[in-house]
């Protein structure tokens, strides 16, 4: 990877020094890879901020001005609002930091009742930068409630899986492998991954294709990886059948006591 003059630590120090004095910034912490202790040279900076309800735009403007003291902003993207998570979110790529050290800033209003994405069971141990008046205060999640949520999700997942697999098969019979492939990804592989997550990483049962190599056992990823790479229609037919068998085996072998022990 080419060397860029602007480092992760310099960016973090700049953000800290910029945000700490602002009386309307109550908390700031790193989530994402940093919260799981596995940030590497390719990791984003996922910065969560809690700010005064009427000061969100001020915070973005001040952050952008601080960033520009170190580097031109090559690209930025503001998520249209209202966003699904209820926060205001902007992504930045800086010319002097390179394309991989992306800054992802999500600002929640202080009085918002929406999600904070700080629960350690799901989002890891947030790396706290600012915490005024104990604003950063994640509460433990209830494993029993999460288990019931998973049971409901699995019941729906298994019902949908059984009835929708013919959509893959029909497109293969029609000699339309591209259509079959997209059904396979959405209706076969994604449910299979969710079932694997339910077995092995139940707090992240609904995290889809994220962190598969880091969160699933090596023998599982070794079996799962080839199912993602399809040479032609004949191989799609074979691998679809393999994935269906595996999903059904997992559904039949669910042991909620074991899963509960992993929460």
Residues of the chain with pLDDT under 70: none
**Closest alpha carbon to 194 in 232, 150, 229:** 150
Packing angle between helix 190-200 and helix 143-164, nearest 10 degrees? 150
Cα separation, 187 vs 165, whole angstroms:
7
Tell me how many degrees the CA angle 110-93-97 measures, rounded to the nearest 5.
115
Residue pair 147/61 in contact (Cβ under 8 Å)? The answer is no
Q: Tens of pLDDT along 113-150?
A: 999 999 999 999 999 999 999 999 999 999 999 999 99
Q: Is the pTM of this model over 0.95?
A: no
Q: What is the DSSP string of the chain?
A: ----SS-HHHHHHHHHHHHTT-TTEEEEEE-HHHHTT---TT--EEEEEEE-TT-HHHHHHHHHHHHHTT--EEEEEEPPSS-TTSSEEEEEEETTT-SSS-EEEEEEETT--S--S--HHHH---EEEEEGGG--------HHHHHHHHHHHHHHHHHHHHHHTHHHHHHHHTT-HHHHHHHIIIIIIHHHHHHHHHHH-GGGTT-TTTTHHHHS-HHHHHHHGGGG---SHHHHHHHHHHHHHHHHHHHHT--HHHHHHT-
Tell me the domain boundaries of the chain. Answer: 8-134, 143-261
Positive or negative torsion for Cα 174, 179, 184, 186 = negative
Architecture of domain 143-261: Up-down Bundle (1.20)
- Residue found by looking up tokens 């952008």 in the block: 64
Q: How many CB atoms lie under 10 A from the CB of residue 200?
A: 15
User: Domain 8-134 has what CATH class?
Assistant: alpha beta
Alpha carbon 16 to chain centroid, angstroms: 24
Q: Return the pLDDT at 2.
A: 79
Q: Tens of pLDDT along 78-107?
A: 999 999 999 999 999 999 999 999 999 999
């Amino acid at each position: 990877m080419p060397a860029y003059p602007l480092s992760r630590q310099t960016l973090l120090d700049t953000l800290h020094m910029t945000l700490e004095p602002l009386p309307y910034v109550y908390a700031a912490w790193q989530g994402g890879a940093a919260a799981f202790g596995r940030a590497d040279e390719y990791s984003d900076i996922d910065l969560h901020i809690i700010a005064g309800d009427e000061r969100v735009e001020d915070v973005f403007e001040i952050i952008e001005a601080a960033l520009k003291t170190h580097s031109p902003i090559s690209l930025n993207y503001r998520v249209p609002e209202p966003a699904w998570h209820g926060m205001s979110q902007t992504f930045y790529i800086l010319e002097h930091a390179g394309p991989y050290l992306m800054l992802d800033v999500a600002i929640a209003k202080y009085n918002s009742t929406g999600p904070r994405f700080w629960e350690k069971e799901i989002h890891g141990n947030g790396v706290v930068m600012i915490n005024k008046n104990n604003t950063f205060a994640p509460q433990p999640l209830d494993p029993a409630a999460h288990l019931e949520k998973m049971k409901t999700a699995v019941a729906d997942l298994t019902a949908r899986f059984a009835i929708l697999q013919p959509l893959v098969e029909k497109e293969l019979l029609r000699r339309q492998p591209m259509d079959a492939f997209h059904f396979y990804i959405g209706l076969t592989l994604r449910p299979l991954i969710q079932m694997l997550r339910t077995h092995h990483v139940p707090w992240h049962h609904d995290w889809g294709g994220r962190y598969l190599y880091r969160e699933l056992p090596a023998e599982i990823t070794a079996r799962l990886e080839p199912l993602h790479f399809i040479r032609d229609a004949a191989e799609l037919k074979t691998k679809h059948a393999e994935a269906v068998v595996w999903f059904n085996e997992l559904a039949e072998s669910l042991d909620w006591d074991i899963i509960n022990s992993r929460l």
